[in-house]
Amino acid sequence: MNAVNDSFLSGAGTGVLRLITAGSVDDGKSTLIGRLLYDSKGVFADQLDAISRAKYKRVAEGGIDFSLLTDGLEAEREQGITIDVAYRYFSTPARKFIIADAPGHEQYTRNMVTGASTADVAVILIDATRAADGKLLPQTKRHSTIARLLGIRHIVVAVNKMDLVDWDPAVFERIRDAYADLADKLGIAHFDALPLSALNGDNVVTRSDKTPWYAGQPLLTLLESLELAGDGGAGPLRFPVQWVARHDGSRKDDFRGYAGRIASGVLRPGDEIVVQPSGVTARVQEVRLFDRALDEAVAGDSVTLVLDRDVDVSRGDVIVHAAAPAQVAREFEAELCWLDAQALNPARKYLLKHGTRLTSAKIRAVLSHRDIHELQEVENTEGTLRMNDIGRVAFTTRESLAVDRYADVPATGAFILIDEATHQTAAAGMLR
């Protein structure tokens, strides 16, 4: 996501909506994105020519296998599944979109977490043929749980392959009601549900005449109407320091600046700041972008701060406004999505990466885990989490961290755990 072309993000007049497609294997996520790109004129002629000649096509002769527009890896095309997250960009007169196509297989849940971490909208696909009786698949429940934990603001339930159940409204209603029960258990206040056929394009970009019983909008129109995320400048200032920039200290014009990317809030010259976790105070003298001074910088800007006096600031520190500091703590509880094939072991050594700070962490206790079938938080009697488990864990870190609740400031409310021995990313965590 961070590698998005600046010209795409900075276009005039239209906002950018980031969305992820999620759900179980073979629910049609890649096909839906391909259809969206195709029907919105977001596919070049040479791309169509390339996929028409692909040896792994899984459609009738003469048809277009839209999934190949996103499944670019050889292993993905050979197996007919999505493995890694693929990002695609397209625009309409009303809005620009960044779509993350997440894998549905349980083995690649970690990749879904990565794609969902920056999304505004989650489009949860459900195969109507496999959920016709109103029973949702475990991975549908797991992806919905992750979307809820990550605070994704909009959930769209796309009941796909309705053409294979003869567009039966009773099937759609059973699935919609089943998801309503799931949403109630997860605490999802609102979701939109619509019937569609990604392969044939029904209710994707335009309304289908096969669903006279459906009064809602097609998917693209719905996505164009959703409210965009608010300005990141509305939150409290959080500026994780990435690098201390210094010129030659023997020169008269000695320079010391603190470079990083503003994660939240607004920064202006004259602001009174606190360096956390040390608690040292200072005032902002300059906010610089390359060789020019700025009157204001907002969330997402990469800048260098010059303070009115020399203070002890290092990589990993967080600069905040004195009036709205973060909480400084070494002990806290967090929700973990366990990603490693090797189960959580409190006796093992883990590194915790929080913003730009890397410190060692000890797991004091596994307090609970979520039963993915019953969708309830239950006591963890085993003292461990296995791959794709979601649970609440108590930590102690070697160094103090400047943290916030994930719901308040995602940048300082999230972290990853790294196995110190294998260097594998073991888990993604969210502070509650």
The two beta strands, 239-246 and 121-127, are: unpaired
Residue type at 359 in one-letter notation: T
Model confidence at 291, pLDDT cuts 50, 70, 90, reads: confident
Nearest to 79 by CA among 97, 62, 67: 67
Q: What is the mean pLDDT of residues 20-31?
A: 81
134 vs 140: CA distance, rounded Å: 12
404 vs 46: CA distance, rounded Å: 47
Alpha helices in 13-66 (DSSP H): 29-39, 45-52
- The CATH homologous superfamily for domain 238-321 is Translation factors (2.40.30.10)
Sign of CA dihedral 99, 186, 355, 323: positive
What is the CATH code of the structural domain delimited by 327-431? 2.40.30.10
pLDDT in tens, 219-258: 999 999 998 765 555 789 999 999 998 876 566 667 889 9
Nearest to 320 by CA among 214, 199, 237, 415: 237
51 vs 73: CA distance, rounded Å: 13
What's the confidence (pLDDT) of residue 39?
76
pLDDT in tens, 85-130: 567 888 888 888 888 877 655 555 666 777 787 888 999 999 999 9
Looking up tokens 């089943």, which residue turns up?
Answer: 178
Model confidence at 75, pLDDT cuts 50, 70, 90, reads: very low
What is the CATH code of the structural domain delimited by 15-225? 3.40.50.300
The predicted model scores a pTM of 0.76
pLDDT in tens, 331-368: 999 999 888 889 999 999 999 999 999 999 999 999 99
- Going from N- to C-terminal start, the domains of the chain cover 15-225, 238-321, 327-431
Please tell me if the domain spanning 238-321 has the same topology as the one spanning 327-431.
Answer: yes
pLDDT in tens, 297-314: 998 899 999 999 989 999
- pLDDT greater than 50 at residue 74: no
> Is 269 in a helix, a strand, or coil?
coil
Nearest to 141 by CA among 374, 324, 349: 374
The two beta strands, 154-160 and 292-293, are: unpaired
